[in-house]
Chain A
Amino acid sequence: MAAALQTAALLSASPNPIDSRRFRLGSFARSLPGTRASFLVVRSDGSIPNSFTASSRSEKFITNAVATKSNAPASSTASKPGHELLLFEALREGLEEEMDRDPTVCVMGEDVGHYGGSYKVTKGLATKYGDLRVLDTPIAENSFTGMGIGAAMTGLRPVVEGMNMGFLLLAYNQISNNCGMLHYTSGGQFKIPIVIRGPGGVGRQLGAEHSQRLESYFQSIPGLQMVACSTPYNAKGLMKAAIRSDNPVVLFEHVLLYNLKERIPDEEYVLCLEEAEMVRPGEHVTILTYSRMRYHVMQAAKTLVNKGYDPEVIDIRSLKPFDLYTIGKSVKKTHRVLIVEECMRTGGIGSSLRAAIIDNFWDYLDAPIMCLSSQDVPTPYAGTLEEWTVVQPAQIVAAVEQICK
């Protein structure tokens, strides 16, 4: 609590809200007590970059980091406890580290610059990097997404923010045809290392048009990768991985998750874009979920544990492609699958996932796959109605009980 207040005070008080000494990692962590020395940054292809941090110390660079609560005891002996922050700050930290590391990373979107981002993800970046690198665009999603893609064709790495994912429907043509397909239709000549990110999902009575879940619309675009973050840890790791990826990546954030707080490591880490996260290992049923529904599932899991069930909860994180390796391992163990998602029932991520599991793991299933999704209605405004459109923990408990009968 005190730490949170302190952080909040820190953020609101100073003109450059990000205290770089506190939040910058790796070679700048000398100011923090107990910093371990001698880390080396090695790139994935084995070369050592001419980093402009010019650190003579080497940094242990964690690739494909998978830290879960169960892993925490193992890693905490090797590393320091880390620092606490909110999810939007984690996103900002990841973004800022990448912008420091690579001068071609730039940000564009509505109100990302001077305003600091409507969800504060880009706060302070414009003061630090300038107006061209953190670009305030007019309200023209179609064309500024197109602009980002055009810039990516030449080698820049833009991070395009949709103020709300639903607004990116206006840019659907650019995302589908130019972003997803250009690498293929040009015979491999152009790569589009763009990151398209923004908050989506059902919030608190935001109304139908501001509660859209675009992962179901984008999932069949070839050439696009989609990831959804759900904790500060994976938000930062996925943001960094998405920026470094040479493929176009759509990073789905959720409006209600921005103020989640978690302790994350001080060392630099990047997560694998295609990997799922084991949230809670179990034996009886595999529950596959992502984004906000992870928390509804964990809440239901408490009730289920009390009732004697042992659910295995996996946050799939990678919406395209699915991490069928992790999912398959789990299905082979538990033989029962429940998918909990926030997408609409028709044509959502859940329906594709269900098809993929049936195609690949049919012989391992002891019960039909259940999929809990939002109702096929425009999200209503009234609070009670809105609650009924989204999956609630009680429904998850009932579904598990039915599957495990």
Chain B
Amino acid sequence: MAAAAAVVARSSSLSKLRPILRSFASSAASDDNRILTIETFVPFTGHLIDPPSRAVDTTPAEILSFFRDMARMRRMEIAADSLYKSKLIRGFCHLYDGQEAVAVGMEAAITKRDAIITSYRDHCTFLSRGGTLLEAFAELMGRRDGCSRGKGGSMHFYKKDASFYGGHGIVGAQVPLGCGLAFAQKYSKDASVTFALYGDGAANQGQLFEALNMSALLDLPVILVCENNHYGMGTAEWRAAKSPSYYKRGDFVPGLKVDGMDALAVKQACKFVKEYALANGPIILEMDTYRYHGHSMSDPGSTYRTRDEISGIRQERDSIERIRRVILSHELASISELKDIEKEVRKEVEEAVSQAKKCSMPDQSVLFKDVFVKGYGAETFGSDRKALSAALP
């Protein structure tokens, strides 16, 4: 299982390493597949279930790919921040920096047949599912080469071929959708699972409990993942939820609390719950994580929390720093090699940004495209079957 994930991780990291593979030929770590067992920083806490062991099997290649992927995600979000401030990205922009370990760890534990559905904070999940930086930046800037052809925006990233179902603006609405994905997986006997992600703010939505009840009734292979970054926009979790133990909220459904800033812990937990869900039905994961930016770019993020808190988390729990420490303590790479990776990633992101800036806006002719799909024996028009008719594919 670990070897397979490592091979996947290795091949994806190799494909990103391609431009500079020559200079890395001497470093064995990125090709290294020997199994390392590393302990998570904090043990898991279970509700109605025995938590998995703290010892995570991984490989140097995988750890390095974690580092590279998280660095890329961090860079992308910081670039999005500056693009927003220069008004190239408009509307709402919800940044994921700080929470990268959840996306990266989850991806390491699952396959592309397993589905992921998340909320509007979806840029990094899109990347981890195989989306490219160019598609992401182009979509953020509303260009036609964006992953949703410029029609979705920041909150509507999707990647169907990688089973990434988005990208949803309304808080909590993605969870019943996720249970529907799991329903379809069960219906088609797919042996795959769905991870439905939501935040601590969405955890108070009624439709979650409705969906959880139905999933438990039908033993759907769905994993509800609460990315608890402790703030629902400006409201701290203790002011919004009577019980902040989101992993226990399933009541009759078991739950697991995970340190979401530790990519290895996330990977272990996701592997564990995938096996559980395939056999038994729904389970809740609570990822204890943190976002450095505010809720969105319109929110400074400092009116409801102190800068000390933010910098404290950055110093003690930052996911990239932790992986860096793991790499250095196991001597998988040197400090300068890691700095090189960060420089490459920075360059990658800058190139993607400049390339995206050159992309053109969507043409007016696509305004009506994809409102409808050509149905059976049907032609579809605007309400008056005349000038506003859509040219259907």
Of the four ranges (under 10, 10 to 19, 20 to 34, 35 or more), the interface on chain A belongs to: 35 or more
Is there contact, CB below 8 Å, between A63 and B377? yes
B189 to chain A, nearest CB (A): 10
Is there contact, CB below 8 Å, between A273 and B371? no
CA separation between A121 and B2, bound complex, in Å?
50
Flag B358-390 by CB within 8 Å of A: 1 or 0 each: 000000000001111111111111111110000
Question: What residues of chain B lie closer than 8 Å to A272, measured between beta carbons?
Answer: 377-378
Is there contact, CB below 8 Å, between B372 and A223? yes
Is there contact, CB below 8 Å, between B151 and A185? yes
- With A183-B371, A184-B371 as known contacts, state yes or no: A178 contacts B214, CB within 8 Å: no
- With A178-B173, A246-B375 as known contacts, state yes or no: A138 contacts B151, CB within 8 Å: no
CA separation between A133 and B187, bound complex, in Å?
8
B217 sits at the interface (CB 8 A): yes
Is there contact, CB below 8 Å, between B210 and A274? no
- With A187-B370, A241-B377 as known contacts, state yes or no: A142 contacts B151, CB within 8 Å: no
Of the four ranges (under 10, 10 to 19, 20 to 34, 35 or more), the interface on chain B belongs to: 35 or more
Comparing A151-159, A364-372, A376-384, the segment that makes contact with chain B is: A151-159
Question: What residues of chain A lie closer than 8 Å to B150, measured between beta carbons?
Answer: 187
Flag B142-184 by CB within 8 Å of A: 1 or 0 each: 0000111111110010111000011111100101111111011
B281 to chain A, nearest CB (A): 14
B143 to chain A, nearest CB (A): 12
CA separation between A104 and B178, bound complex, in Å?
18
Q: Which residue of A lies closest to B382 (CB)?
A: A321
- With A146-B176, A150-B165, A223-B372 as known contacts, state yes or no: A323 contacts B385, CB within 8 Å: yes
A112 to chain B, nearest CB (A): 14
B207 sits at the interface (CB 8 A): yes
B19 sits at the interface (CB 8 A): no
Is there contact, CB below 8 Å, between A187 and B152? yes
Is there contact, CB below 8 Å, between A187 and B146? yes
Question: What residues of chain A lie closer than 8 Å to B183, measured between beta carbons?
Answer: 147, 150-151, 156
Is there contact, CB below 8 Å, between A360 and B180? no
A299 sits at the interface (CB 8 A): no
- With A178-B173, A189-B160 as known contacts, state yes or no: A225 contacts B372, CB within 8 Å: yes
Q: Which of B146, B184, B376, B386 contacts A151 (CB 8 A)?
A: B184
Question: What residues of chain A lie closer than 8 Å to B369, measured between beta carbons?
Answer: 188
B219 to chain A, nearest CB (A): 10
Interface positions, chain B 99-156, Cβ under 8 Å from A, are 115, 117, 146-153, 156
- With A150-B181, A151-B184, A356-B383 as known contacts, state yes or no: A247 contacts B377, CB within 8 Å: no
B240 sits at the interface (CB 8 A): no
Is there contact, CB below 8 Å, between B211 and A184? no
B11 sits at the interface (CB 8 A): no
CA separation between A171 and B173, bound complex, in Å?
10
A251 sits at the interface (CB 8 A): no
CA separation between A155 and B218, bound complex, in Å?
19
A118 sits at the interface (CB 8 A): no
Q: Which of A133, A146, A223 contacts B180 (CB 8 A)?
A: A146
- With A156-B187, A359-B384 as known contacts, state yes or no: A150 contacts B214, CB within 8 Å: no
Is there contact, CB below 8 Å, between B377 and A270? yes
Question: What residues of chain A lie closer than 8 Å to B180, measured between beta carbons?
Answer: 146-154
Q: Which residue of A lies closest to B168 (CB)?
A: A178
Is there contact, CB below 8 Å, between B176 and A142? yes
- With A142-B176, A222-B371, A324-B385 as known contacts, state yes or no: A186 contacts B377, CB within 8 Å: no
Q: Which of A106, A146, A185, A323 contacts B207 (CB 8 A)?
A: A146
A350 to chain B, nearest CB (A): 14
A177 sits at the interface (CB 8 A): yes
Is there contact, CB below 8 Å, between B214 and A137? yes
Question: What residues of chain A lie closer than 8 Å to B176, measured between beta carbons?
Answer: 142-147, 149-150, 174
CA separation between A144 and B180, bound complex, in Å?
8
CA separation between A270 and B147, bound complex, in Å?
36
- With A187-B370, A246-B373 as known contacts, state yes or no: A146 contacts B385, CB within 8 Å: no
A43 to chain B, nearest CB (A): 8
Question: What residues of chain A lie closer than 8 Å to B374, measured between beta carbons?
Answer: 246
B213 sits at the interface (CB 8 A): yes
Give the most central of A153, A246, A322: most B CB within 10 Å. Answer: A153
Q: Which residue of B lies closest to A241 (CB)?
A: B376
A224 to chain B, nearest CB (A): 9
A190 sits at the interface (CB 8 A): yes
Q: Which of A186, A188, A270, A320 contacts B156 (CB 8 A)?
A: A186
Flag B192-215 by CB within 8 Å of A: 1 or 0 each: 000000000000001100110110
CA separation between A185 and B211, bound complex, in Å?
24
Is there contact, CB below 8 Å, between B181 and A153? yes
A375 sits at the interface (CB 8 A): no
Give the most central of A145, A148, A155, A187: most B CB within 10 Å. Answer: A187
A92 sits at the interface (CB 8 A): no
Q: Which of B166, B181, B207, B377 contacts A143 (CB 8 A)?
A: B207
21 contacts between A and B (CB under 8 A): A132-B187, A133-B187, A137-B214, A138-B210, A140-B210, A140-B214, A146-B207, A148-B180, A149-B176, A149-B180, A150-B165, A151-B184, A153-B165, A155-B184, A185-B148, A187-B146, A191-B373, A244-B377, A324-B383, A360-B384, A360-B386
- B residues lining the A interface (CB < 8 Å): 115, 117, 146-153, 156, 158-160, 165-170, 173, 175-181, 183-188, 206-207, 210-211, 213-214, 217-218, 369-386, 393
Beyond the given A146-B179, A241-B378, A246-B373, please list 12 additional residue pairs across the A-B interface where CB-CB is below 8 A: A64-B377, A132-B187, A146-B177, A147-B177, A149-B177, A150-B176, A150-B183, A153-B181, A244-B375, A245-B375, A247-B378, A272-B377
